[in-house]
Amino acid sequence: MRDFKLDLANILKENIEDMTIEEILELIEIPPNKDMGDYAFPCFKLAKVFRKAPNMIAQDLSQNIDKKDLIKEIKPLGGYLNFFVNKELLVKEVLNDVFSKKEKYGHNTIGEGKNVVVEFSSPNIAKPFHIGHIRTTVIGNVINNIYKANGFNTIAINHLGDYGTQFGKLIVAIKRWGDLDVIKQNPIPELLKLYIKFHEVAENEPSLEDEARNWFLKLEQNDKEAYELWSYIKDVSLLEFNKVYDLLGIKFDSFAGESFYSDKMPAVIDEMNEKNILKDSQGARIVDLEEFNMPPALIQKKDGSTLYITRDIAAAIYRKQTYDFYKNIYVVGSQQKLHFEQWMKVVELMGHDWAKDCLHVQFGMVALEEGTLSTRKGKVVFLEDVLNKAIEKTKEIINVKNPNLENIEEVSKQVGVGAVLFQELYNNRIKDYVFSWEKTLSFEGETGPYVQYAHARACSVLEKAGDFDASNIDYTCISNEDSINIIKEIQRLPEIVELSMKKCEPHHISRLAVDLAKAFNKFYHDNHINVEDQNLKNARLALVKAFKDTLKNTLNLLGIEAPQKM
């Protein structure tokens, strides 16, 4: 599509020698009020160069600018130049772009030939997959989609928490009190029970801790029994996690978790020794980070075992070697900020200049209305339950409102899951929030179902009206305010795809979805589509189709389905 803003900047440049195109682009705004114009250019910065008052500059420029085919009208207002673009051209450009690019409308090729690693979800095995994991899982998936839409080749990695002393504890607990058959029936709750029991008993019997450390060491040394029990724990956990990923429609390219790096650790420690950054501290090996105002990074314990941070360093090095990433992104909660700062600093100290390409994309915490989540105290809300309840509730609503719908099961899943996803993606990711059943299951206002409904409504308009002639659209018919508003929202998608990547912020996309739906609903209420005038009808149907396709692409980026009927 023609880049209207860039074209405008080029036109302005002809009259403003002292600014670069980039500087001009930077200044161009969208006026707060539609009556003021489509674009505005503030002249305040030019006052010095032109040695004139901004309003005088705006006056002069408005008379001298060559409008070309792009600009319909220029109005100076105070220190601003307001531009009205040629609507017919706008409509034509936007519709042609949507219809020619189809499911790729809004996408670009900025990232062509570059690899981006996006790590997200990464739950700890043997622990519940709870509402606290929803953020990394959902936001991470969308960031992965966004990079793809910007032309990057992405590698979605689930860095499973499948290693560490806690597995020594679990092995001890299974051997003492566990029954593999019972565990298999109901893996996560049973393993959680055992884990809790371990801690209770260990309080009076501290030797259990040594036993656990010993079992973990055995695991690190590939002891057969330790390995088999651990594999069992991992397999049953993954079966549970996959249920949630299937419901969410999320796929990973790699499940290389922490254990994957166990045999890669010695080389990392050797490299650190070579680079002379390790220090002894009471028998353990650390990297001193005092100079950078951070606590030391504990790399290797006295007994030779490695830590979470060591595995992260090994993983980053492995990813660079394997994927030669352009960016290596971690979608992980803000509680781990220090951890990421520490290991990224260590990688930098090891002399890897790509440390700067590693990015911690943080997000705020989820709390429960009753207080903080606590796995050990059993204060958790299972993600699978949240999704299933949302699906159930959707089914109840559809059964009342649209009982004859053919595929109620499928649509309930698409809408129920969509509701949960949308709520998760609607706010700035850094904000903390309190999970509430009521809010999650409310489908009123700016929600996923509201947006999906606008899509279904557009589908039904198109189904009822029959086909239209895409090769013969009279663009002048799309000229009233309601129609132009839809065109302008559609036009924003490519820009939003880029912006949401630059900021790693999915909410720009979810907000656009709502804006699109609102613009369409307004148009739908106040304008007839199936009109006598065939020219007008044809153009309006084209507009509805372009809206529908764009909204679908927008929802796809969010990992949300767009059912045709609901």
Chain residue at closest Cβ approach to ligand ARG: 161
Q: What is the CA radius of gyration of the chain?
A: 28
Give least dist CB 118 to ligand ARG, A.
Answer: 12
Of the candidates 115, 124, 306, 485, which one interacts with ligand ARG according to CB under 6 A?
124
Q: Using the minimum distance from each CB to ligand ARG, give the nearer residue, 77 or 359.
A: 359
| Paired sense of beta strands 39-42 and 80-85, if any | antiparallel
Distance CA 277, CA 436 (A): 47
- Binding mask of the shown chain, residues 148 to 167, with x at each position contacting ligand ARG by CB under 6 A: -----------x-x------
Residue 161 three-state SS:
strand
- Binding mask of the shown chain, residues 332 to 351, with x at each position contacting ligand ARG by CB under 6 A: x-------------------
Q: Using the minimum distance from each CB to ligand ARG, give the nearer residue, 195 or 330.
A: 330
Stretch of 118-126, 463-471, 479-487, 540-548 lying at the interface with ligand ARG (CB under 6 A) = 118-126
Tokens in use for 442? 């409310």
Is residue 513 within 8 Å of 469, Cβ to Cβ?
A: no
HSE value, Cβ hemisphere, 13 Å, CA-based, for 172: 26
Number of H helices, E strands in the chain: 21, 12
Q: Using the minimum distance from each CB to ligand ARG, give the nearer residue, 111 or 123.
A: 123
Give least dist CB 230 to ligand ARG, A.
Answer: 16
> In 249-336, where does DSSP find H-type helix?
265-274, 308-323
Give least dist CB 159 to ligand ARG, A.
Answer: 4
Is residue 501 within 8 Å of 358, Cβ to Cβ?
A: no
Give least dist CB 141 to ligand ARG, A.
Answer: 15
Of the candidates 312, 505, 549, 561, which one interacts with ligand ARG according to CB under 6 A?
312
| 508 flagged as catalytic | no
Q: Using the minimum distance from each CB to ligand ARG, give the nearer residue, 123 or 416.
A: 123
Q: Phi/psi of residue 332, each to 5°?
A: -140, 145
107, 130, 148, 199: which is the annotated catalytic residue?
130
Distance CA 101, CA 549 (A): 10
Is residue 115 within 8 Å of 324, Cβ to Cβ?
A: yes
Distance CA 252, CA 120 (A): 9
Site for ligand ARG in 161-200 (CB under 6 A): 161
Distance CA 253, CA 322 (A): 13
**330 touches ligand ARG by CB under 6 A:** yes
Give least dist CB 365 to ligand ARG, A.
Answer: 12
Give least dist CB 316 to ligand ARG, A.
Answer: 8
5, 52, 72, 133: which is the annotated catalytic residue?
133
Tokens in use for 484? 């132009």
Q: Using the minimum distance from each CB to ligand ARG, give the nearer residue, 157 or 183.
A: 157
Nearest CA to 442 among 414, 428, 422? 422
Distance CA 95, CA 470 (A): 9
Of the candidates 76, 106, 123, 506, which one interacts with ligand ARG according to CB under 6 A?
123
Q: Using the minimum distance from each CB to ligand ARG, give the nearer residue, 330 or 435.
A: 330
Distance CA 154, CA 118 (A): 7
Q: Using the minimum distance from each CB to ligand ARG, give the nearer residue, 46 or 139.
A: 139
Q: How far apart are the first and last CA of the chain?
A: 33
| 133 flagged as catalytic | yes
Stretch of 54-62, 115-123, 228-236, 438-446 lying at the interface with ligand ARG (CB under 6 A) = 115-123
Stretch of 116-124, 223-231, 400-408, 431-439 lying at the interface with ligand ARG (CB under 6 A) = 116-124
**485 touches ligand ARG by CB under 6 A:** no
**121 touches ligand ARG by CB under 6 A:** no
Give least dist CB 505 to ligand ARG, A.
Answer: 20
Site for ligand ARG in 218-277 (CB under 6 A): none
Q: Which residue has the tokens 């209420």?
A: 525
Of the candidates 86, 122, 144, 500, which one interacts with ligand ARG according to CB under 6 A?
122
Q: Using the minimum distance from each CB to ligand ARG, give the nearer residue, 167 or 330.
A: 330
68, 75, 107, 127: which is the annotated catalytic residue?
127
CA dihedral 29, 34, 38, 42 (to 10 degrees): -40
H-helix or E-strand spanning residue 86: none
Give least dist CB 122 to ligand ARG, A.
Answer: 4
- What's the full length of the chain, in residues? 566
Give least dist CB 535 to ligand ARG, A.
Answer: 57
HSE value, Cβ hemisphere, 13 Å, CA-based, for 247: 28
Tokens in use for 58? 């705006």
Q: Give me the amino acid identity at 540.
A: R
Which residues contact ligand ARG by CB under 6 A? 119, 122-124, 159, 161, 312, 330, 332
Q: Which residue numbers are catalytic?
A: 127, 130, 133
